[in-house]
Structure 1
């Protein structure tokens, strides 16, 4: 996996600027519209674009960035990815809810604060471990979905887990690259308005490239191909 190439391959496409500008506009709508839930439409569009981009990368197209067209199909594909992402993150709600609902019983005194910090120190490592386990599983699921167009691939947990951790070194490298990329994007996202548009727009092609290369490295069994529609 070449992390530098993940940032630069879009420049091979002569139409990368308008494609990225449309992505940025949708990302801005998705970010601020999420407060009213209508932003989920924007995220579904971006995830649909991600799926098509991964498929193009796997196919080996010289200019893999898709054009912004056929929005209905992008919504369908991206909606499935968004639904799977929500399911993957449901277990994170349990410790968060427990912490929030019990924190009021600890009081504002020294003992209560100490208990709160202890609970937080116990919960955070569990959340990190869960994310490090499910991140690569979800990434592999997205790549398989891009090829098979079947939402069920996200929930083949046993196969995803065994495939990912059969190639532990490749998985660790991918996790490291994702941490670096997310750190850079988080800094960019902190820029008011501009960052909220540009960071998600750049994240889509970067995530797509790293996920595609990651899957190529670790997939060691033939997979069914997408059905013709």
Structure 2
């Protein structure tokens, strides 16, 4: 996987200023940013010269975003009871000490769970791109077998995704005074993640 390529690819598109402005503005809607991520991944897998979607692709971007967001919510279902308990304890604990401890434990659990959940999501996304069917996201047993078979590529991908998130957090904080800076950075981070997912999916496809 080429990390630098994933960061700089939007600016190699001749229409990048227009695409960047439109994408950043539409990213106010959470599922739209997810749609851009999925569309970029698909375009990378299909080896398109300019993976960044244009205005003519917005319908597909929105559809992809809805499907991907629903899938991610489903993957997070096992965490919901723990989050609910943490919220209840936080509301009942006047001193805050025990609630803080529980909150820290839930945060650690969520981070640990997010790693395999992200791997499942990538494999589900790989199948969804190939089939166009939402059911590809929820065949958990089959997806997990694919995860274990492609563990090396997925671990590398997760490391890169964390790196993108850290870079985005730093850049977004530095540009917060500009108001629009964090929004642009968030959009660029999403499409960079999509590019990395597309690269990983391509390598998985070649290895199959």
Normalising by the smaller structure, the TM-score range is 0.7 to 0.9
Instruction: Give the aligned partner of residue 72 of structure 2.
Output: 85
Number of residue-to-residue matches in the alignment? 204
Q: RCO higher in 1 or 2 (8 Å CA, sep ≥ 6)?
A: 2
What is the aligned partner in structure 1 of residue 84 from structure 2?
A: 97
Deviation beyond 6 Å, 4+ runs, structure 1: none
> Which protein shows a greater Rg?
1
User: For structure 1, which runs of at least 5 residues remain unmatched after alignment?
Assistant: 31-41, 222-229
Deviation at 1:117, TM superposition (A): 4.2
Question: Which residue is 2:51 aligned to?
Answer: 64
Give 1:157's match in structure 2, choosing from 140, 143, 167: 140
Alpha-carbon displacement from aligned partner over 1:59-99 (angstroms, at most 9, x marks no partner):
11222222112533432232111211222223333212101
Paired position in structure 2 for 1:183: 166
TM-score (norm 2): 0.86
Aligned to 2:63: 76
Q: Does the 8 Å contact 1:24/1:198 carry over to 2?
A: yes
SS at match of 1:65: coil
Q: Is the 8 A contact 1:92 1:127 kept in 2?
A: yes
- 1:212 aligned to which of 198, 202, 205: 198
- Could you tell me the TM-score, scaled by structure 1's length? 0.79
Does structure 2 retain, via aligned residues, the 8 Å contact 1:140–1:211? no
Q: Any unmatched runs of 5+ in structure 2? A: none
CA distance in 2, matches of 1:164, 1:209: 19
